[in-house]
Chain A
Amino acid sequence: MDAARSTPPAGRITIAARAYERVAAAVLADELGVPVRMTRASVRDAGGALAVDLSSGIRSDGPPVAAAAASARTRAGERLGALTGARIGDVRLRITHLVTPERSPS
């Protein structure tokens, strides 16, 4: 019975590229404090590692844009790796616009 418990069932896990993109977009939105619909993510292979291209708006009432973006980029990569287990390679973040408090739903 112990052997049955320790032996994993047959099969394998496949994580689709779309899943990586959705997780990356959600993590970035959480880090930047913007709605998920304002973030975009695409993934690709870079030497066996997962490379992520992110784009998002950023809040104008927070810390300086450059510092906030750099922090969000680093944290998004770390959290994406922790959540998916994948080795994260290059993470690129492109800020596309400012989100004013009036435009933000929160």
Chain B
Amino acid sequence: MTDDIVITDAAAAPSAPAAPAAPTAPGTPRDISRTARALAKRLQGRSRSVWVTVMLLIAVAAAVLLGVEAVLFALGRPPALVSLDAVRAALTDGGTTGAVVAVASGLFAALCLWGALAPGRTHRRAFAAGRVPMVVDDAIVAGALSRTAAASAALGSSHVTTRLGGRRARIAITPATGFAVDGAAVSTSVDELLSRLGAAPALTARVDVASEGRLS
């Protein structure tokens, strides 16, 4: 008899030694959930790998060039591209070359900083859909909110405009002339939809009913 698989029931056999916690194998529900969460998070932000790649390429090229020149200088050989003395003189003497290099480096650094720190939102958000998160475009969410608000207000979709922010949806309703819109009822139906969808982070809606109506 082999002991590869040990099933212990703590209630039935309290004296049985506890099995050591085995590492979770790939493919188990917990692992799938973690992977799905990571994928969902990845879909909500823009990739920054381009910025990392460009920055690393330039840094590696500069390091290789300086290394080769340093080795050649130490061996007393002529420089392959430019001597280290010439580089030092161009950067420290305050000439045109040094200024150009400084300005270009500053601009590139600012660009890289923007690429790294900008929010990089893709205008998508995650919703709970059973065991997996569901990533949906903001336009789809706004359309669903508009349809719900329009149906609740007995209006056409052309009377409703929805704008989505990070955590807030603003629904603007233009009523049909002569017929008042119950903003509280619309707000209730929209809130029900949002709670049913379960957005993460939580999304709250604000319903604004225009004072002026519109004739068809």
Contacts and interface: CB of A to CB of B under 8 A. Distances in A.
Given A12-B155, A12-B156, A87-B180, A48 B175 contact: yes
B131 interface: no
Contact of A14 (B176, B180, B210): B176
A16 B216 contact: yes
Interface residues of A, number: 19
Nearest to B210: A48
A86 interface: yes
B215 A17 contact: yes
A16 B215 CA distance: 7
Interface in B153-202: 154-156, 175-180
A48 to B, nearest CB: 4
A45 B212 contact: yes
Contacts of A27: none
Contact of B213 (A13, A45, A84): A45
A13 B179 CA distance: 12
Q: Is the interface of B mostly helix, strand, loop or mixed?
A: loop
A88 B210 CA distance: 17
A25 B144 CA distance: 40
Contacts of A86: 177-179
B211 interface: yes
Contacts, number: 50
Given A12-B154, A12-B155, A14-B156, A88 B216 contact: no
Contact of B216 (A14, A47, A49, A84): A14
A44 interface: yes
A45 B216 contact: no
Interface in A39-71: 43-45, 47-50
B209 to A, nearest CB: 9
Contact of B177 (A12, A13, A48): A48
A15 interface: yes
Given A12-B154, A12-B156, A14-B156, A48 B180 contact: yes
A17 B216 CA distance: 6
Interface of A: 12-17, 20, 43-45, 47-50, 84-88
Interface of B: 154-156, 175-180, 210-216
Q: Which 4 interchain pairs have the tightest Cβ spacing? A: A86-B178, A50-B178, A45-B177, A17-B215
